[in-house]
Homo-oligomer: A and B are copies of this chain.
Amino acid sequence: MIRAATIVDDRQPALQRLASLAPLDVAALDALARASNQAQTIRARRELVSEGREIAEPLLLLRGWAARVRLLPDGRRQFLSFLLPGDVIGHCPQPRPLAVATIVGLTDVLVCPAPAAEPGSALGVAYAIGDALDQAYVLAQVTRLGRLNAQERIGDLLLELHERLIANGMARGSSFDLPLTQETLADALGLTSVHVNRMVQQARRENDLQWKGGRVTLLDPPGLARKIGRTAVRVSATVGPQPARGR
C-alpha cells in the first residue's frame, strides 16, 4: 500500500542518520517505531519552538528541513543552523529549559516525540553524538561568518549540508535537493540575497557547482573542500557523521 510505503520512506533518513551515530538495537528501533506513529506534519514557516518560551518535549525530525533562527528587533534575521531528518530538536537537560532560539520549518516538516533514552543505551549514545555534532556545526558556523568571505561561506555551507545529507541518505553522489531560497541562504551566511546570487553565479562559472530547480550538484567536492580549506566534522573517536565503515 502506498500509505505504508510512504511512512517507511519517511522514517528512513532519520533512522539511517541515527544508526550512523550508534548501532541501534531492537529496543531503540522499537521505541523509534512507536514514536513515529505519533508523527505530525507541520507546515512550512510554522514555528516548532519559540524563543524565550519554555520547551516541552524533545522532538525528532523525520522529514523536511527546519532551522534555528533569531530575529533582531529591526527585522534583521540570522539563521543559526539547519535541522535535517534525524536531528533532535529541543533536547535540554536542565530543569524548565527556555528556548534560546526559534525553530521554524523551512519546508513542510514531519516530527514525532523523540523517544526517551537511558544514558549509555544505543539511543542515548546516538543522541549524545548527535548533540555534539550539532554543537560542532554551530562552531563551524561561527568560523564561517567570522573569517570566510562570501564565496568560501557558500562553498563551506554546501559541503557541510552535503556531508549531512549523505549521512542520512538524502544525497546520493554529490547531488542533493536544496529547498532553500537564496534569501534564506543569505540570512544563514550573513550576506544579502543579491550578493549570494552573484557568488553562486561565480561558483557556477568556476565549475564548482550546478544549481537549478532546487537541486545542487557539487562538481568535485574534495577539490572544493581543499579550495576553501574545509575538513569534515568529527566528534567521536568511534564513529562520525558518515556511515561508520566496519569497526
Interface positions of A (Cβ within 8 A of B): 52, 54, 68, 70, 72-74, 76-78, 80, 92-98, 100-101, 119, 125, 128-129, 131-132, 135-136, 138-139, 141-143, 145-147, 187-190, 229, 233-238
- Residues on B with C-beta less than 8 A from A141 are 142
Tell me how many chains of this kind the complex includes. 2
> Are A135's CB and B132's CB within 8 A?
no
A100, B135: Cβ atoms closer than 8 Å: yes
A136-B100 in contact (CB<8A): yes
A143–B95 touching, CB < 8 Å? no
Question: Which secondary structure characterizes the binding site on chain A?
Answer: mixed
* Interchain CB contact under 8 A, A189 and B146: yes
CA A119 to CA B190, docked complex, whole Å: 38
How far is B135's CA from A166's CA once the two chains are assembled, in angstroms?
A: 26
Decide if B95 touches A139 in the complex (CB within 8 Å): no
* A28 CA to B138 CA, complexed, in Å: 31
Q: Give the Cβ gap from A19 to chain B, nearest Cβ, in Å.
A: 16
